[in-house]
Amino acid sequence: MTAAHPTLSIPSYARVTNVKNGRSVIVRVNDRGPFHKGRVMDLSFLAACRLGYANNGSAEVIVESLMLATRRATLLPTPKSPFIAHRRR
Protein backbone atom coordinates (compact mmCIF):
# COMPACT_ATOMS: atom_id res chain seq x y z
CA MET A 1 0.00 0.00 0.00
CA THR A 2 1.36 3.40 -0.94
CA ALA A 3 0.81 7.08 -0.22
CA ALA A 4 1.75 10.55 -1.42
CA HIS A 5 2.77 13.20 1.13
CA PRO A 6 4.30 16.67 0.65
CA THR A 7 7.04 16.57 3.34
CA LEU A 8 7.81 13.00 4.45
CA SER A 9 11.03 11.65 3.00
CA ILE A 10 10.88 9.30 0.03
CA PRO A 11 10.90 6.43 0.64
CA SER A 12 9.49 6.28 4.17
CA TYR A 13 6.62 4.65 6.03
CA ALA A 14 3.65 6.05 7.91
CA ARG A 15 0.86 4.65 10.05
CA VAL A 16 -2.50 6.08 8.94
CA THR A 17 -5.51 5.71 11.24
CA ASN A 18 -9.12 6.41 10.26
CA VAL A 19 -10.58 8.61 13.00
CA LYS A 20 -14.14 7.41 12.40
CA ASN A 21 -13.62 3.65 12.80
CA GLY A 22 -10.13 3.33 14.36
CA ARG A 23 -8.75 1.16 11.53
CA SER A 24 -5.04 1.58 10.89
CA VAL A 25 -2.63 0.66 8.08
CA ILE A 26 1.05 1.18 7.38
CA VAL A 27 1.80 2.67 3.97
CA ARG A 28 4.97 3.39 2.03
CA VAL A 29 5.36 7.04 1.06
CA ASN A 30 6.72 6.98 -2.48
CA ASP A 31 5.31 10.12 -4.08
CA ARG A 32 4.69 13.81 -3.50
CA GLY A 33 1.17 15.10 -3.00
CA PRO A 34 -1.62 15.42 -2.08
CA PHE A 35 -3.02 16.61 -5.34
CA HIS A 36 -6.09 18.43 -3.97
CA LYS A 37 -6.14 21.41 -1.59
CA GLY A 38 -7.15 20.79 2.02
CA ARG A 39 -5.78 17.25 2.13
CA VAL A 40 -2.67 16.05 3.86
CA MET A 41 -2.11 12.72 2.09
CA ASP A 42 -3.24 10.68 -0.90
CA LEU A 43 -3.58 6.93 -0.30
CA SER A 44 -3.69 4.00 -2.70
CA PHE A 45 -7.06 2.36 -3.33
CA LEU A 46 -6.10 -0.71 -1.28
CA ALA A 47 -5.14 1.45 1.72
CA ALA A 48 -8.44 3.34 1.44
CA CYS A 49 -10.33 0.01 1.31
CA ARG A 50 -8.57 -1.29 4.41
CA LEU A 51 -9.30 1.96 6.23
CA GLY A 52 -12.95 1.64 5.24
CA TYR A 53 -13.47 4.80 3.21
CA ALA A 54 -12.76 3.87 -0.42
CA ASN A 55 -16.36 4.47 -1.50
CA ASN A 56 -16.50 7.86 0.24
CA GLY A 57 -13.40 9.27 -1.47
CA SER A 58 -11.90 10.92 1.62
CA ALA A 59 -11.79 10.60 5.40
CA GLU A 60 -10.32 12.19 8.50
CA VAL A 61 -7.12 10.39 9.45
CA ILE A 62 -4.20 10.64 11.84
CA VAL A 63 -0.78 10.27 10.19
CA GLU A 64 2.19 9.04 12.21
CA SER A 65 5.61 8.94 10.57
CA LEU A 66 7.57 5.69 11.00
CA MET A 67 11.27 6.19 10.43
CA LEU A 68 13.89 3.47 10.52
CA ALA A 69 16.60 4.13 13.05
CA THR A 70 19.45 1.72 13.56
CA ARG A 71 17.70 -1.60 13.07
CA ARG A 72 14.41 -0.64 14.73
CA ALA A 73 11.36 1.40 13.84
CA THR A 74 10.90 4.62 15.76
CA LEU A 75 7.62 6.49 15.92
CA LEU A 76 8.11 10.22 15.42
CA PRO A 77 5.67 12.55 17.16
CA THR A 78 3.04 14.18 14.97
CA PRO A 79 0.02 16.33 15.72
CA LYS A 80 -2.90 14.33 17.12
CA SER A 81 -5.53 16.31 15.24
CA PRO A 82 -7.20 14.52 12.33
CA PHE A 83 -6.34 15.32 8.73
CA ILE A 84 -8.14 14.68 5.46
CA ALA A 85 -6.74 11.94 3.24
CA HIS A 86 -7.91 11.10 -0.24
CA ARG A 87 -7.55 7.85 -2.13
CA ARG A 88 -5.55 8.06 -5.34
CA ARG A 89 -7.24 7.08 -8.58
Q: Tell me how far apart the alpha carbons of residues 5 and 59 are, in angstroms, rounded to a whole number.
A: 15
Query: How many structural domains does the chain have?
Result: 1
- Better pLDDT: 14 or 73: 14
DSSP letter for 51, please: H
Q: With H, G, I as helix, E, B as strand and everything else as coil, classify residue 33.
A: coil
- CA–CA distance, 61 with 25 (Å, rounded to integer): 11
> Residue 47's domain spans which residues?
2-87
Residue 58 has pLDDT above 80, yes or no: yes
Over residues 2-44, the pLDDT tens digits come to 999 999 999 999 999 999 999 999 999 999 988 788 888 999 9
* CATH number of the domain that residue 22 is part of: 2.40.40.10
